[in-house]
Amino acid sequence: MSFTGNLEHLPLVDVMQLLHTTRKSGTLSIKGKKGESRIIFSSGSIVGASHLNNKYLIGKVLVEMDLITEKVLEQTLEDQKKAGANRKPFIVTLLETKRISMEDAHKGLKKLIEMTVVELVGWKKGVFTLDIEAITVSDECSYTISDMSQEISLDTQMVLMDAL
């Protein structure tokens, strides 16, 4: 089941607050002139996000936060390239090669989610679709929860307060 609306009539902040208050799970896809992005919810909390048009990638975010070096970024991208069809998400590859700690991986992922939300709440035009049956965090969202020992879960209200 899905729910679709226009951001001009129902701002993203209101949609996110509704999901938080009702403790809903699903994938919120947002499309606008700037591109497309997704925010994944589980029981009202944000558990993943993909930034529009890959403006922010987890590797670059980790480098900007000084959690990994450019060299580690390049090595990990090369490892992914060599893996071919068996390629794992970037953050999982970093963890498996012990190039980042779980704590730093979570810091980077949380930052990426926050950056995505900050960008999206400013959108005044566009269309959103909520698919409550789709809660899988895909590789495009930079990681998969099942590959990590601790789930990312951000309080939607706190992320919105930071974004506004």
Q: Is the pLDDT of residue 74 over 50?
A: yes
pLDDT in tens, 24-73: 899 999 999 888 888 888 888 888 888 766 767 889 999 999 999 999 99
Please report which confidence band the pLDDT of residue 133 belongs to, taking 50, 70 and 90 as the band edges: confident
Q: What does pLDDT average to over the chain?
A: 83
pTM: 0.76
Interval 89-106 mean pLDDT? 92
Taking only the tens place, the pLDDT of each residue in 144-159 is 444 444 456 666 767 7
Domain ranges within the chain, ordered by starting residue: 2-163
DSSP secondary structure of the chain: -EEEEETTTS-HHHHHHHHHHHT--EEEEEEETTEEEEEEEETTEEEEEE-GGGSS-HHHHHHHTTSS-HHHHHHHHHHHHHHGGGPPPHHHHHHHTTSS-HHHHHHHHHHHHHHHHHHHHT--S-EEEEETT-----GGGT--GGGSSS---B-HHHHHHHH-
